[in-house]
Amino acid sequence: MKLQLALDGELQSSLAVLHATATYVGIAEIGTLLIYREGVQAVRELRTVFPQMTLLADLKIMDAGDEEASIAFDAGADLVTVLGVTNDATVRGVVAAAQRAGKQIMVDMMQVTDPVARGRDLLNLGCDYLCIHTAHDMQRAGHSPLDLLAHLRHELPNALLAVAGGISLNTIDAIAAYQPAVIVVGSAITCATDPAGTARALHERMNRPVLH
């Protein structure tokens, strides 16, 4: 199980948080807000400073799949995100770009009507991870990704699942119990008074031996 750290703050503070937490981070995410602020220059900067880190560019691609994904891969990203609600032609474009570059794709499943059927299609199209994502704007209304995680885990037992949306030390155990491949944490680390200690604690809780 990998801890994905979502970086959405300013570039300099994001670099500082990643410096402090890198030991525990499996994937560093250049968040959509950071992409909007800096463009893929942010990916280039992280690639330079952290040459060995797995980097994900959270583009949330909706169209022009090949062209948009290539911009991120060319800048040094190892993974890009595509929206599960987009059309298949766009997904195929992202897959083509990923295959050419030898990189990977995570699908953001936000607003997908039938996540099991669509998830199966997306994996067949060549996507690598399905990310169950409770939108930032939906977390305020008390939504959580846990029910959908349980459902997808049951229906697609072999899929590589990621989970995102307001995850913290309060919820990590319930999430980790379903053994997703990736758990995405953002503000619970980046806004913590002790980001390194929080990342370490999350990492430990994700990788505890399972008791039977």
Binders of its own copies among residues 120 to 149 (CB under 8 A) are 135-138, 140-141
From residue 95, alpha-carbon distances to 63, 70, 99, 194 in Å are 13, 10, 6, 38
Binders of its own copies among residues 41 to 60 (CB under 8 A) are 41-42, 59-60
**Contact pattern for its own copies over residues 1 through 40, marking x by CB under 8 A:** -------------------------------xx-xxxxxx
User: E strands within 101-175?
Assistant: 104-108, 129-133, 160-164
Pairing of strands 2-7, 27-30: parallel
Position 153 contacts its own copies (CB under 8 A)? no
Would you give the DSSP letter of residue 170?
A: T
Looking at beta carbons only, is 71 or 176 nearer to its own copies? Answer: 71
Give the pair of three-digit tokens for residue 21: 């937490």
Q: What torsion do the CA atoms of 9, 13, 16, 20 make, to the nearest 10 degrees?
A: -50
Position 86 contacts its own copies (CB under 8 A)? yes
Residue 95 Cβ vs its own copies, minimum distance, rounded to whole Å: 12
Pairing of strands 79-83, 160-164: unpaired
Interface with its own copies (CB under 8 A), residue from 20, 85, 196, 201: 85
**Contact residues for its own copies, defined by CB under 8 A:** 32-33, 35-42, 59-60, 62-65, 67-68, 71-72, 83, 85-87, 89-90, 92-93, 108, 110-111, 113, 135-138, 140-141
